[in-house]
């Protein structure tokens, strides 16, 4: 690697090509993580290659060649971060945390429709008989957790359930997930 790096720093085309081929999978991997409007994937790969060539040019050989790999990696990553920062203001993307025009309400808050009750919509899709029959097929512990969390209490409070039943929180959270999946399966047509 030392000889290759020295030749590349002396503008040997073949040495640069060989180093690019060594780091090409890394450049591809980092390019896939980025999206910039009006830039193709090939453009991003070329930017990565240019960052690698810049790393070759700027690397101090007195540091030894064993640290070049990490230097090249961070040069490629930081090059992408730099281009993102410089071009992000030209992307016409809107943050959900921005405020609506002429208002002090954030965009994300304006998207929530409080008139829609998701639970009611789901219950309406199933007949009560189907739900009751599926509920009866659950074992006693599964029925107990669903009854406590969704029927007897207005707000599902798993911590309170654990305290009252003297059970481990992790166990109860897994029980809840497993029971809801089982109920979903039982309600499938």
Residue labelled with tokens 């690397």: 59
What was the pLDDT predicted at 120? Answer: 65
pLDDT tens per residue across span 40-92: 888 888 988 999 888 888 877 777 777 888 888 888 888 888 887 777 665 55
What was the pLDDT predicted at 82? Answer: 84
- Rounded to whole angstroms, how far apart are CA atoms 134 and 140? 13
What was the pLDDT predicted at 3? Answer: 81
Please count the other Cβ atoms lying within 10 Å of the Cβ belonging to residue 19: 21
pTM of the model: 0.46
Task: Indicate the residue among 44, 70, 90 that finishes a domain.
Answer: 90
Domain count, the chain: 2
Would you say residue 100 lies in a domain?
A: no
Strand partners, 106: 99
Domain that holds residue 51: 2-90
Residue 77 makes CB contacts below 8 A (sequence gap 6+) with: 30
What was the pLDDT predicted at 56? Answer: 84
Residues 16 and 71 in one domain: yes
What was the pLDDT predicted at 37? Answer: 72
Would you say residue 169 lies in a domain?
A: yes
State which residues of the chain have pLDDT below 50.
Answer: none
Residue labelled with tokens 């998701």: 118
Please count the other Cβ atoms lying within 10 Å of the Cβ belonging to residue 167: 14
Would you say residue 95 lies in a domain?
A: no
Residues 144 and 66 in one domain: no
């Amino acid at each position: 690697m030392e000889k290759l790096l020295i030749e590349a720093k002396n503008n040997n085309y073949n040495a640069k090509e060989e180093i690019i081929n060594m780091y090409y999978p890394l450049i591809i991997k980092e390019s896939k993580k980025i999206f910039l409007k009006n830039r193709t994937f090939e453009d991003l790969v070329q930017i990565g290659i240019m960052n690698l060539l810049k790393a070759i040019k700027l690397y101090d050989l007195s540091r030894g060649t064993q640290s070049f790999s990490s230097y090249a990696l961070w040069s490629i990553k930081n090059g992408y971060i730099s281009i993102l920062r410089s071009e992000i203001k030209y992307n016409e993307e809107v943050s959900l945390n921005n405020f609506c025009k002429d208002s002090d309400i954030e965009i994300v808050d304006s998207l929530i429709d409080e008139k829609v009750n998701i639970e009611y919509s789901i219950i309406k899709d199933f007949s009560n008989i189907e739900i009751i029959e599926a509920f009866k097929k659950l074992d006693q512990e599964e029925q107990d957790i669903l009854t406590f969390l969704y029927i007897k209490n207005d707000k599902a409070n798993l911590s309170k359930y654990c305290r009252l039943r003297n059970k481990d929180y992790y166990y109860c959270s897994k029980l809840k997930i497993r029971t809801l999946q089982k109920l979903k399966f039982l309600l499938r047509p």
